Amino acid sequence: MSGYVEEIAPEKVNDLLTNGEKMSIVDVRGPEEVATGKIPNAYNLPVNEIQTRMNELDKNKKHIIVCQSGGRSSMASMVLKSNGYRVLNMTGGMQEWTGITE
């Protein structure tokens, strides 16, 4: 099951943030989508740039991958995982996000 990517619900991510948990959140949407609102401190790394820019992410951290509805983040998560990154795919994406945005 090496292709399997662990998932995390938006509510759980919000709980962790609310509790002051330090997390790496990577938003793989395009810049124009991110401009409409993102999870505070999320790092924007568009899915079409993952292959060339994944080295910007710390391999020693666990990263929560986010997109609009969960599809692109699922693909990005698989690419990152296959390259040795520890990732969680946030199910439902920003559509399901009820926490604060910036």
Catalytic: which of 13, 66, 67, 94? 67
Mark whether 67 is an active-site residue: yes
Tokens of 75: 């693909």
Burial category of 83 from C-beta neighbours within 10 Å (exposed 0-12, middle 13-18, buried 19 and up): middle
Residue with tokens 């690419």: 79
d(CA 13, CA 92): 12
Beta strand 7-8 pairing with 24-27: unpaired
Which residues are marked as active site?
67
